[in-house]
Structure 1
Amino acid sequence: MSGKILKRALALCLCMLLLAGSCLAEDSLENFVPDALTEEELAQWQEWAEEGMGDSDATAANAAELTPEEESLMAEMASMLEDTTVSTEVDLSNLELNEALPDYVVNILLLGVDNRSVELVSGRADANIICSINTQDGSIKLTSIARDTAVEVPGYKSKKRLNTAFKFGSKDGDVAKGAELAMKTVNRNFQMNIERYVVVNIHGLADIIEALGGVDMELTKGEAQAINYELHVKEPMDDVQRDKLEVADGVQHLDGMEAVTYGRIRNLQGQNDLNRNERQRKLLEALLKKVMEDMDITKFLNLIETALPYGKTNLTADELLSLGMTVLSGSAMQNLASGGEVVGQFGIPMEKQYGYREFNGESLVYISDKRMQTTLTAMQEFIYGQSYVK
Structure 2
Amino acid sequence: MSNSKGSLPPRRPGAQQSGRVQPAKSTASGKAAKKKAKKRSPFARMVRTLLMILLVAVIAVLAYMGYLYYKFEQGGFGVDQPVQEEQLASSKPLTMLLLGTDNRPEHPSNLTDVIMVASLNPVTKSATVVSLPRDTYVELSGYKKTKINAFYSRFKGKEDESGILAEDEMKTMMSKYLDVKVDYVTVLDFQGFRDIVDELGGVDVNISADMCYTDSVDGTDINLKKGPAQLDGDEALDYVRYRKSNCSPKTEASDDFDRNKRQNEVLNSLVGQMQSLGGVLKIGKVLDAVDNNMKTDIESAQIKSLIATYWEISKENVEFVPVTGTWRSPYVYINDEELETARKSLQNRIAGVN
TM-score by length of 2: 0.66
Does 1:280 pair with 2:280?
no
Structure 1 unaligned segments of length 5 or more: list them: 1-29, 36-65, 89-102
Provide the residue aligned with 2:331 in structure 1: 364
CA deviation profile, 1:222-270 (whole Å, cap 9, x unmatched)? 2xx31xx34xx65497799xxx76x443x22211111111111112536
1:161 Cα shift? 0.9
1:385 Cα shift? 3.9
1:300 Cα shift? 2.1
8 Å CA contact retained: 2:130, 2:321: yes
Percent of aligned positions that are identical? 23
Kindly report which structure 2 residues correspond to 1:30-41, keeping only aligned pairs within 5 A, or say none: none
1:323 Cα shift? 2.3
Kindly report which structure 2 residues correspond to 1:308-323, keeping only aligned pairs within 5 A, or say none: 308-323=291-306
Q: Distance in 2 between matches of 1:386 and 1:327?
A: 14
Provide the residue aligned with 1:164 in structure 2: 150
Q: Which of 71, 79, 83 is the aligned partner of 1:76? A: 71
Q: Which has the larger radius of gyration?
A: 2
Q: Which of 110, 113, 138 is the aligned partner of 2:101? A: 113
1:292 Cα shift? 0.7
Q: Distance in 1 between matches of 2:332 and 2:220?
A: 36
1:70 Cα shift? 5.3
Q: Which of 135, 143, 148 is the aligned partner of 1:148? A: 135
Q: Which of 55, 79, 84 is the aligned partner of 1:85? A: 79
Question: Which AA in structure 2 matches 1:76?
Answer: K
Q: Distance in 1 between matches of 2:234 and 2:130?
A: 24
CA deviation profile, 1:34-90 (whole Å, cap 9, x unmatched)? 99xxxxxxxxxxxxxxxxxxxxxxxxxxxxxx76x75454222444545x43879xx
- List, as ranges, runs of 4+ consecutive aligned residues in structure 1 with deviation greater than 6 Å: 173-176, 236-240
Kindly report which structure 2 residues correspond to 1:325-344, keeping only aligned pairs within 5 A, or say none: 325-328=308-311, 332-333=313-314, 336=315, 341-344=316-319
8 Å CA contact retained: 1:125, 1:147: yes
Q: Distance in 1 between matches of 2:186 and 2:203?
A: 22
Q: Distance in 2 between matches of 1:133 and 1:206?
A: 25
SS at match of 2:292: helix
8 Å CA contact retained: 2:121, 2:350: no
8 Å CA contact retained: 1:113, 1:201: yes
8 Å CA contact retained: 1:135, 1:323: no
Q: Distance in 2 between matches of 1:173 and 1:117?
A: 22
Provide the residue aligned with 2:230 in structure 1: 253
8 Å CA contact retained: 1:152, 1:185: no
Count of residue pairs brought into register by the alignment: 279
Q: 1:81 to 1:145 in 2, by over 3 A?
A: farther
Q: Distance in 2 between matches of 1:106 and 1:299?
A: 25
Q: Distance in 2 between matches of 1:171 and 1:152?
A: 20
1:211 Cα shift? 0.7
Provide the residue aligned with 2:22 in structure 1: none
Does 1:131 pair with 2:118?
yes
Q: Which of 182, 203, 207 is the aligned partner of 2:195? A: 207
Structure 2 unaligned segments of length 5 or more: list them: 1-52, 83-90, 245-250
Kindly report which structure 2 residues correspond to 1:190-201, keeping only aligned pairs within 5 A, or say none: 190-201=178-189
SS at match of 1:302: helix
Q: Distance in 2 between matches of 1:118 and 1:104?
A: 41
8 Å CA contact retained: 2:72, 2:304: no
Higher relative contact order, structure no. (Cα contacts within 8 Å, ≥ 6 residues apart):
1
SS at match of 1:194: coil
1:185 Cα shift? 1.7
TM-score by length of 1: 0.61
Q: 1:238 to 1:376 in 2, by over 3 A?
A: closer
Q: 1:72 to 1:348 in 2, by over 3 A?
A: closer
1:384 Cα shift? 4.2
SS at match of 1:127: strand
